[in-house]
A and B are shown apart, each in its own frame.
Chain A
Amino acid sequence: MAVGPSVAGDDSTLNYSKHINYWRRCAKTYLPTQYTGNDCNRMMLAFFVLSALDLLGDLPTALSAEERQGFVEWVYRCQLPEGCFRPAPATNLGSQGNEENRIWDPVHLPGTFFALQILILLGDDLSRVKRREILQSLLKLQRPDGGFGQSVGEKDRVEGGNDTRFGYMGAAVRWILRGTVEGPVDGVPDIDVDKFVKCVQISETYDGGISEEPFHEAHAGFTCCAIGALYFVDRLPLKASQPPDDRIRGLTNLPMTLHWLVSRLTLTLDEEDAVDTLGDETDSAATCHDSHSFVKLGSYPSEGGKLSFLEQPTSHFELDWVGVNGRCNKIADTCYAFWGCAPLKMLDHLELIDTRPIRRWLLDKTQHVVGGFSKLPGDPPDIYHSYLGLAILSIFGEPGLKDVDAALCMSNRAKEHLESLPWRQAIVGEKGS
Chain B
Amino acid sequence: MPQKFYHDDPEWADIEPIAQDDGPHPLAAIAYTDEYSEAMGYLRAAMAKNEFSERVLGLTEHIIGLNAAHYTVWLYRAKTLETLNADLKQEIAWLNPTALSHLKNYQIWHHRQTIIEKLGSPEGESDFISTMLEQDTKNYHVWSYRQWLVQRFGLYTEEELNWTESMIEEDVRNNSAWNHRWFLVFGVPRDGREVDEYTVQREIAYVQEAIRKAPQNQSPWNYLRGIFKQTKRSTEDLKTFALEFANVNKPDDIFSSHALDVLADIYAEEQKKDEAKKALDLLATKFDPIRANYWNYRKVLLDQPEVAA
Contact = CB atoms under 8 A, between A and B. Distances in A.
Interface of A: 26, 30-33, 35-43, 45-46, 49-50, 67, 70-71, 73-75, 77, 89-94, 96-97, 100-101, 103-106, 108, 118, 150-151, 153-154, 159-161, 205-207, 212-219, 240, 255, 258-259, 262-263, 265-267, 277-279, 281-283, 287-292, 294-298, 316, 319, 322, 327-330, 351-354, 357
A262 B291 contact: yes
30 contacts: A30-B29, A30-B30, A32-B30, A36-B36, A36-B66, A36-B67, A37-B67, A41-B69, A74-B25, A90-B40, A91-B72, A93-B44, A94-B18, A96-B45, A101-B49, A101-B50, A118-B27, A159-B75, A206-B182, A206-B186, A207-B223, A217-B176, A240-B307, A283-B217, A290-B218, A291-B216, A295-B215, A296-B254, A316-B289, A328-B222
A294 B50 CA distance: 64
B84 interface: no
Interface string B167-204: 00011111110010011001100000000000000000
Contacts of B50: 100-101
B13 interface: no
B217 A215 contact: no
B251 to A, nearest CB: 11
B138 interface: yes
Interface stretch (B85-93, B140-148, B232-240): B140-148
A106 B47 CA distance: 12
Given A49-B27, A282-B213, A328-B175, 7 more contacts: A101-B47, A104-B75, A281-B214, A294-B288, A296-B254, A328-B218, A353-B293
Nearest to A72: B25
A104 B22 CA distance: 18
B112 to A, nearest CB: 13
Given A161-B106, A206-B222, A295-B256, A38 B23 contact: no
B174 to A, nearest CB: 7
Given A49-B27, A329-B175, A353-B294, A92 B20 contact: yes
A375 B186 CA distance: 35
Contacts of A281: 172, 213-214
Contacts of B292: 354
Contacts of A40: 67, 69-71
Given A36-B66, A93-B47, A295-B216, A265 B290 contact: yes
Given A291-B216, A319-B289, A357-B290, A31 B28 contact: yes
Interface of B: 18, 20-33, 36, 40, 44-45, 47-50, 66-72, 75-76, 79, 106, 110, 137-138, 140, 143-144, 147, 170-176, 179, 182-183, 186-187, 212-219, 222-223, 225-226, 229-230, 252-257, 286-294, 297, 307-308
Contacts of B79: 154
Nearest to A42: B28
A206 B172 contact: no
A395 B137 CA distance: 33
A118 B27 CA distance: 10
Question: Quick one: which of B50, B71, B218 has the most chain A CB within 10 A?
Answer: B71
B27 A75 contact: yes
Nearest to A153: B75
A328 B219 contact: yes
B214 to A, nearest CB: 5
Contacts of B47: 93, 101, 104-105
A87 to B, nearest CB: 8
Contacts, number: 254
A329 B215 contact: no
Contact of B31 (A32, A50, A101): A32
B227 to A, nearest CB: 8
Contact of A33 (B20, B31, B171): B31
Nearest to A222: B140
A96 B49 CA distance: 9
A92 B21 contact: yes
Question: Quick one: which of B49, B68, B172 has the most chain A CB within 10 A?
Answer: B172
A322 B225 CA distance: 26
The 5 closest A-B pairs by CB, nearest first: A70-B25, A206-B226, A46-B27, A207-B222, A45-B28
Contact of B70 (A90, A205, A351): A90
A287 B216 CA distance: 10
A219 B106 CA distance: 15
Given A36-B66, A295-B254, A288 B216 contact: yes
Given A38-B30, A354-B292, A207 B226 contact: yes
Contacts of B256: 295
Contacts of A258: 294
Contacts of B288: 290-291, 294
Contacts of A97: 48
Contact of B290 (A38, A39, A151, A322): A322
Given A32-B31, A215-B183, A298 B214 contact: yes
A132 B76 CA distance: 29
B23 to A, nearest CB: 5
A352 B30 contact: no
B72 A105 contact: yes
A416 B60 CA distance: 44
Nearest to A214: B187
Contact of A216 (B29, B75, B144, B217): B144
B110 A160 contact: yes
Contacts of A328: 175, 218-219, 222
Contacts of A357: 290
A163 to B, nearest CB: 9
B148 to A, nearest CB: 9
Contacts of A26: 28
B173 A282 contact: no
A171 B140 CA distance: 25
B285 to A, nearest CB: 9
B71 A73 contact: no
Contacts of A207: 222-223, 225-226
A325 to B, nearest CB: 10
A283 B216 contact: yes
B262 to A, nearest CB: 11
B9 to A, nearest CB: 21
B182 A94 contact: no
A292 B110 CA distance: 39
Contacts of A49: 27-28
Question: Quick one: which of B223, B294, B307 has the most chain A CB within 10 A?
Answer: B294
